[in-house]
Every structure is written in C-alpha cells, then in structure tokens.
Structure 1
Amino acid sequence: MSASRSILLIIGGGIAAYKVLELIRRLKDRGIASRCILTKAGEEFITPLSVSSLAGERCFTDLFSLTDEADIGHIALSRSTDLLVVAPATADLIAKMATGLANDLASTALLATDKRVLIAPAMNPKMWEHPATQRNMAQLEKDGVLVVGPNSGAMAERGESGPGRMAEPNEILGAIEQALAGETPRAIGFLGRLPGGAATGSKPLAGQHVLITSGPTHEPIDPVRYIANRSSGKQGHAIAAAAAAAGASVTLVSGPVSLPDPAGVTTIHVESAREMLAAVESALPADIAIFAAAVADWRVADAAPEKMKKGAGGTPALSLVENPDILATIAHRKAGRPACVVGFAAETEHVIEYARAKLAKKGCDLIVANDVGGTGVMGGDANTVHLVTTEGVETWPTLAKDEVANRLIAHIARLAQAPKAN
C-alpha cells in the first residue's frame, strides 16, 4: 500500500472505541496515514491525547473551533483524504448519516465528503435489530456506504449476546485496504455482502439446518468417576450462536458444559460419545454438520455399577475400548450425508500434518485445526485456527472464540453457496 494513502477516521462513542487505538497502530504499520475525529461520546471512552499520540497528529473534536476552521475546515478535512471510516459506527451516527443530519464535526464531515465511506457498526443487539436501525442501514447501503460487520457474540452488558459487536481491528483494516484499492470490501458480519461481493441479505444461512456438536463427553468408570478432557464447549456454543444469527435452524448436541444454551437454538444434552452419536443421527437430515465436540476416544469396557473402593486389591486395571467415530460415521454416510461436513482437530504437535491426515481419513470437507499444547486454549476465550481442505491451508490470526465462530460460519456460508463441480 502506498504511503501516500490516507483515511479520515471518525471514532464514535461506545466501549468498542478502545479497539480503534489498535486499528490506528496497524494502519501506521501498513503505511496508511489517519487523521481522526473523536466525537463527544467517543471522548467518554478514549482521550484525544491517546488518539493523537498513535496517529501522529492532532485529533479533531470541535466543529466550531476557530483554529481548525481557519487552518483546515470541516469540508477540507473530509475531502483531503482517500476514504472516510466510521468506527465504531453507533446507532446515533448511523441515524445521522441516513437522514443527513449535521450537528457536530463528525456528521458534518460525513455530509460534506465526496469520498467513499466505510462504517463498522457497533451497538447492543436489540438496537442493531431495531427496525429503525435496519431502515437506516438499508438507506446507507443504497447510498453506497460500505459496511464491515457487525460480528455476533457477547456484549459488554452482562448477559447480552447477539449481532452488534464491532468487527475486529484486523477485519476493519482488511476492509480499508480493499476500499483503498477500489474494491468493495466484504462484510464480516451478516448484513450486506459475503466475501466475493455476492449480495446475501441479512441471513445467508436462512432455510438451512445446521447440526453442531460441542463440549466434551464423559465416559463413566463408575457412578462417580469418568474419562473426559478439558473442553469447555465455548467454541462449539459460539458457532451455534453464530449459525443462528446467520438465519439457520440450528440443532446443538452438547456434552456436559457449564454454559447456558445459546438463544434461538435447539439444544440436546448428552453425556457419553454413544449418546452423542445417537442424538446426531436422530437430528438428521441436515444441510451442514459441524463437529466441534471433543469426544473421548475411549471408554471403559465395563463401567462398575458401584463406586470402586481403594483396598488391598491395589490399583484396578481399566480395560478400554474405542468410542464410535462420530465425524467419520456421518461423513461416510451414503444416504443422508450433509452437503458440508466440518470436523475439528485439536493437536499438541504437527498440527497441519495431522489435520491433513484426519481430513483424508474421516471423509469430511473441512478440518478446523488448532494447537492445544499450550495453556489458555481449552477452556479459554481465544483460539488460533487453521482451515484445512484438499485445496490448501488458511491460517487465521488469534481471535476471540466468538469471532472465530462468526468467521467460520461466514466461510461455510460461502462454501454452501458455491457452485458444485460436475
């Protein structure tokens, strides 16, 4: 990207404003200069000093500053750049843009510009889904405003979850670079366009049945002990929520977890691998199946009917047998196989090599692989994944599990809409 490229970054009010500081730093790393306008609401979350320190020049805040108007002016400020970016684009800023209001520096600059505009919406899910916001968004897209996001996931407000999270800095940066190159940026969320520019509306998986497994399985040793792993179910549950937000009818088969059932999802609770397989088969047919559960590979051949006691007999020997392979069972079905079958591979070494082998052996269409050898992945809130197919490997940066889920569902939606080879 040429160092002469520049943007005018308008920072709205909201907790997502703090992410914009990281965006400014990444823009500078790419040689993209950023002049910044910080709204009054934005100043409640970050300061003009922090913005200007990262951007390398003054942060503008006041429409009626005599110095600014004499030196630059709001019209010159909005036109002496290659692109205007609004992040976070609050419901208030979106409403002002859609109706042509101009009562502060940010809205005046947006109305006076002759450049392309890219927005990254961020707000509470109920505000995002409100008919007024959707009308305003429809008007902005009709006016040619570019959109990145929003993502779906947990909100700052306790217990709130759904579409409305601002796209991550790397996602916004990618959209900025596409816009500066004259392309139409892909929407990371579910409003507008999927990557590639195809119009989808707000629900790219509408009419699709998506079957998802999540969490661990517990294989009993006796009535109080079991074999399991450290899976928390956070990634699988996040995928279920993202699929529901994309308009799918979602069936989630969940092993024992401490998470609440995702809203708008049919959840079936199971304990063991055999119970999970039975629940999966009873939930078919499905258009898409995503097997994110960390199913125990083995179970005790004969679980004790009563609690096993320590005693003179010494340590008991456990005879193990293999559990059914749920992913392979569904992927190799000759009748009723989902059109897209996705497996997960949690590895501690040779992650890509083992994932490729698993892809071939299991017969699925895509493997999502990650390294769980370190700390903080199983049970944590972030993940670094590699999408492995017969065509190659796509590696994503470390993202919150909600963001991994959102991007994965968008990726799968593209696969589902792609024309099939003859």
Structure 2
Amino acid sequence: MSRPKRVVIMGAGGRDFHVFNMVYRDNPEYQVVAFTATQIPGIEWRRYPPSLAGPRYPDGIPIVPESKLPELVKEHGVDEVVLAYSDLTYDEVGHLLSMALSTGATFKIIGPRDTMITSYKPVIAVTAVKTGAGKSTVSRALVREIKSRGLEPVVIRHPMSYGDLEARKLIVIRSEEDVEKYPLTIEEREEFEPYLGMDVTVMAGVDYGIVVREAEKRGDILVWDGGNNDWPFIRPDLWIVVADALRPGLEASTFPGEINVRMAEVAIITKASEAGPENVKKVRENLLRLNPKLDIAVADIEVTVDKPEMIQGKRVVVVEDSPTVTHGGAPYAAGYVAAKKYGAEIVDPKPYAVGIIKEMYETYRHMGPVVPSTGYTSEQLRHLEETLNRVPADVVVIASPARIEKMIKLNKPYVRVSYELKVLEGPTPKDLVDRLLERHPVPKA
C-alpha cells in the first residue's frame, strides 16, 4: 500500500484550519505535515492541537512561518502544497504558486464545493472583494432588518484563530461578560463588539462543523459576516459581495475576491459619495463584466464621531482597524475620514511608532498617517499604547470597533467613530431579507 500524500497547508489562522477539518482530518489518503502562517504577527510556532486535529494526529500539527515552506517540502518529502488564505493580489498568488512549484510539489486550492457546510436554516452571506469594503457594516444592517421582523439572527464570523486554539474551538458572544470569558485579541474584539448592543448572538471558532450546528440551535437565520475577502464557510441562500468604490479595480485583481463577485447574487458598492460617480461607474462595469447577473446596490457608509466638538480644530492621532490598513491594502479608513469631516488636524504617527507598530509601517508601506490597531499579544498592546502616547496630539480618534481604550492606558482623551450603511440606489436590507424569506420562509413562533 502506498504511503499517504504529504501535504502542507499555507494559511493565516483561518481558512487553513477549516480546509484541514473539512478535507484532510479524517482522510487516510493524506497526511498534513504542517501549516504555514503569514499576515498575522505572532501566530506561527504553535501546534494545531490533537483535540482538534483528530486521532490520526496524536501530536497535533506544527504551525511554522511561511518562509519555511521550501525547507518543509524538502525535509518531509511533501507532495502537495495547498493555499488556504485570502486577501491576496493575483501578483501575490503568482509568487506563492511559484514558490510552491519550484520545490517540485503540486500546488492546490480547495474550492467552495468541498469547503462550504450546508445548513438547514436560511443563510445570508456577506463577502467582499477586499478587506475594508464594509462587510460588517452591511451585516449589521441586515441583522437589524431581520430582528425587526421578530426573527432571531445568529451572526457567524470568519475565524480568527489566534492564541490558544483549544479555547477558541467554539466562541459564543452575546454580552460584555461573554467577551471577557475568552482571551480575545483586539482584532477579535473588533468583530464581536459592534454587535453587543444589538441583542444578537455572534459565533466563531476553529471547527465550523460545531459552530454551524450550534448556531442552528440558537437562531432562525444565519448571517455569515465574512473575513478578509474569503468566500463563505457556509453554503448561502443569498450571497452578497461588497465592493469598495474608493478602490476600483480590486473586483478583478484579488484572490479570492473575484470568486465572490462571480458567485454572488447581489453586489453592494460602498463609499459612493466619497469616491465619486466616476469610480462608482468603474466598479459597476467591472462587476458586471465578471457577473452580468449581479443585482447592484450603491451605498454610502456614514461616518460619525460620538463627541465631534472634541476634535474640531484639534490635533488628532487616528487609530484604524488593523486588517483594513495592513494586508487589506487601504491607506486609511473610517477614522481618517471622520477626522477630516470634523475639521481635525491629523498628526502623522509614523515618527513616533515603536515595536510592532513600527514594523507594520515598514511592511505595509502604502499605509497613510494612521495607526493600525495591531494587538494580537500583550507585548503588541504595549507597543500600541506607547506609540499613541508618544504622538503629540490632543485627542485620539478611535475607529477600531474594539474598545481598545479599555485594553490600553491612553495619556490623552479619545473619541469613538461609528459607521452605518445608507443605501442610495438598488436593493435595500429590507429588500434582501424579503428575498431570502421568499426562498426560505421561517415560521414565526
């Protein structure tokens, strides 16, 4: 009998584990010898634990830096390298493909059919062409609409598998107390905390078979609030893709963003007024060229500050959602927009950056005069705190959805930024929920 094919899964602490669980965990024809990790600082040099890896992996599976891939292939005689992460340009995918193939191994991507879980509950999925387009803003609008019908939505978030993986096997958040139960990073809090005031259950984890089955017990409708520009882990009854009018061209130049465009039924072009009609037109044309059947909405993301009088005419340092301005590729996000809207003077934080924040600027040179909310570890939180406290500003503008002011000690006052969806033309959240329920009626209790 021939030996199992040896596999390395390239990931970033999310889809990689899902692909393993769905395709490889119980498959005797394959042996996964390692995961590689990138994008997120500090997630390598761990193990996927035996409790999650299953009986075929009594020692678990090592997680190593992506740069070690050629050594892994040589050392273990790896047959196949599987790409399982998102937010990549086609140029980046090409380099990864070449790195893998140059080792002699076969390069693979496991597709949607083999990785989407089927639920018996109605599923609406919100995806994007790139991080920072406004997926969660759209998802929250849909959740409000569902709740207005007297129905119970459950939000399922894309995984953020940092830290202790066993402790994150299943995460259920409904209250502030629930947030404190888990050792969550800023990045995880950014995904959960915006829902806290909405009286809705938010779930995530490492094993999405367990997550989906548990979500089905708790809600009438499942809302997939996607991560990066990944496609859904759950087979949707209504698939939405969000496109950023400020960044035309990403619709046809990102992986797997273009897959979402081609497979979605509805596209929502966000930030329309800020981007202007010419950019909206370009994005619309790109979307329809890839998927002529798309039903397109055009929308704004309205940005507000809780205490605008505190920043008008003041020097401010802006904190943005980290994934958006790092691997998401955006130079700035809602915090910068809010500061400009209310007449603040934005201080460039780069000369004052320390530690991981300084490293982020060196790695992501597109980033504008904003601070990424990077805080995956206690050390990184200290770097974030020191950077913000060193900047000679009057006020901190916090556009991270996470309550980072509770996690670090600031030496200056702060304001918080919020953002909500406003549809200008095309199908509204009400229209979309109507469409979902026409296909998949939910009996009222």
Question: Which of structures 1 and 2 has the bigger CA Rg?
Answer: 1
**TM-score of the aligned structures, taking structure 1 as reference length:** 0.29
The structure with more helix, counted as a fraction of residues: 2
**TM-score of the aligned structures, taking structure 2 as reference length:** 0.28
